Amino acid sequence: MRSLLRWAALLAAGISTAGLVVVGGNGAAVAVPACTVDYVPNQWSDGFTADVTVTNRAAPVSQWELSWTFPGNQAVISGWGAEVRQTGAKVVATSLAWNGSLATGASARFGFQAGYQGANDAPVDFAFNGVSCNEDAPTTTTTTTTTTTGNLPVDCTTATVCDDFEAHSGSTPGAPWTVGAANCTGTGRVSVDSSVAHSGSKSVRVDGKAGYCNHIFFGAPLSGSVVHGRFYVRHTTALPAAHVTFLAMKDTSDNNRDLRMGGQGTKLQWNRESDDATLPEQSPQGLAQSPPLPTGEWNCVRFSLDNGKLTTYLGQQEIAGLKVDGVPTPDIDRQWLNRQGWRPTVTDIRLGWESYGDGSDTLWYDDVAFGPSPIAC
Ligand code: CA
């Protein structure tokens, strides 16, 4: 009965009901849901990806938000096809510029990666632009107040080093970048590439090969004890169990040894060259607090190094296991802080690939920015 009453109210109000109500076979008006959601998780022991298709059953929209609440401790790490943000158990996925417009009956598809412990039950309270998908289609056109985050390809307002690589006409990136490898060289390669790009038509491709002497980086000068970084990286092969590095910064406070970001135990990690300390610790509990780096898509990685404190984000999600906060935490930064007064002062930033045994990968970097102020994804 509710739908009939609503139908009558709509007619009285003179509101267009196109797409909101369908007429049943007996001539009576029957309501349709405001939205339908197809939620397909693909999970492993402590994480999952979800493929989400949302269909707009109400009036056309020019942008959308799909929200839900996780029933457990699921924590979003990164998203694609939407800006996926989590606050507590609530998640809001916001359309991007290219998939915000949805006619009645049209669908958008996006996905995300998340971690969890224990059960991974699916959410049941999906809402589309604030209207529950369990409800009938809304009686009025929803006005959205969504603000897209911009996702600017390059945020160069404060950065010291900032590059979308569009201006590089050579086969390798030119100034301010230098391509090279310390101590020995082999089959690693760096090239400006037009086959894949996060912005525009160019990125930097790194053909990273196993074995230390095949390491290769493209680097630029960067100095300070406060360094914020943001880069987009797309790679091909999952991070291996062995230790690998894809970002390095020379630390003059550590005898010019490198502070390195990369992977170990298949998860993202930081590593200190001088004593091989890792962040998180390589315990199961430590590894559970850092994600893998998803393959085959652009990942926004950012970090803040600030006078001996370090925070790291994958997309909008801060990574608990990649944090040095000055207070030794078992499985995270206890080993790291065994070195008293750790306070790096870096003099460069290098992106590329360095393996110490196993581990080869093909990576692309784009829209990189490094400087003294925070830089967003
Ligand atoms: Ca580019």
Q: What is the pLDDT of residue 268?
A: 98
Residue 20 three-state SS: coil
Q: How far, in Å, from the CA of 120 to the mean position of ligand 1?
A: 37
Nearest Cα neighbor of 83 from 60, 66, 102, 105 is 66
Q: Which value, to the nearest 10 degrees, does the dihedral of the CA atoms of residues 243, 246, 252, 256 take?
A: 60
The mean per-residue pLDDT over the stretch 284-297 comes to 96
CA–CA dist 235, 326 (Å, integer): 32
Count of Cβ atoms closer than 10 Å to residue 287 Cβ: 22
Nearest Cα neighbor of 167 from 155, 176, 158, 179 is 176
Q: How far, in Å, from the CA of 357 to the mean position of ligand 1?
A: 31
CA–CA dist 214, 116 (Å, integer): 36
Q: How far, in Å, from the CA of 164 to the mean position of ligand 1?
A: 4
Q: How far, in Å, from the CA of 297 to the mean position of ligand 1?
A: 14
Question: 230-286: per-residue pLDDT in tens?
Answer: 999 999 999 999 999 999 999 999 999 999 999 999 999 999 999 999 999 999 999
Question: 104-149: per-residue pLDDT in tens?
Answer: 888 888 888 899 999 999 998 999 988 888 777 644 333 333 333 3
Q: How far, in Å, from the CA of 160 to the mean position of ligand 1?
A: 18
Q: How far, in Å, from the CA of 367 to the mean position of ligand 1?
A: 6
- Containing H/E element for 12? helix 2-13
Q: How far, in Å, from the CA of 169 to the mean position of ligand 1?
A: 12
Q: How far, in Å, from the CA of 248 to the mean position of ligand 1?
A: 21
CB 280 within 8 A of CB 289: yes
280 preceded by a cis bond (ω within 30 of 0) = yes
Residues around ligand 1, an ion, CB closer than 5 A: 164-165, 197, 199-200, 202, 366
**Which of the pair, 303 or 51, is modelled with greater confidence?**
303
Q: How far, in Å, from the CA of 32 to the mean position of ligand 1?
A: 44
CA–CA dist 101, 95 (Å, integer): 9
Quick check: 334 pLDDT over 80? yes
Q: How far, in Å, from the CA of 161 to the mean position of ligand 1?
A: 14
Answer whether 0.85 is exceeded by the pTM.
no
Q: How far, in Å, from the CA of 45 to the mean position of ligand 1?
A: 36
Q: How far, in Å, from the CA of 155 to the mean position of ligand 1?
A: 13
**Which of the pair, 153 or 76, is modelled with greater confidence?**
76
Quick check: 300 pLDDT over 60? yes
Tokens encoding 34: 């405001």
Q: How far, in Å, from the CA of 103 to the mean position of ligand 1?
A: 32
Nearest Cα neighbor of 203 from 160, 155, 164 is 164
Q: How many alpha carbons fall within 13 Å on the CB side of residue 132?
A: 7
The mean per-residue pLDDT over the stretch 51-72 comes to 91
Nearest Cα neighbor of 100 from 138, 41, 148, 149 is 148
Handedness of CA 300, 208, 287, 118 (dihedral sign): positive
Nearest Cα neighbor of 268 from 246, 251, 250, 283 is 246
Quick check: 21 pLDDT over 70? no
Tokens encoding 42: 């693909």
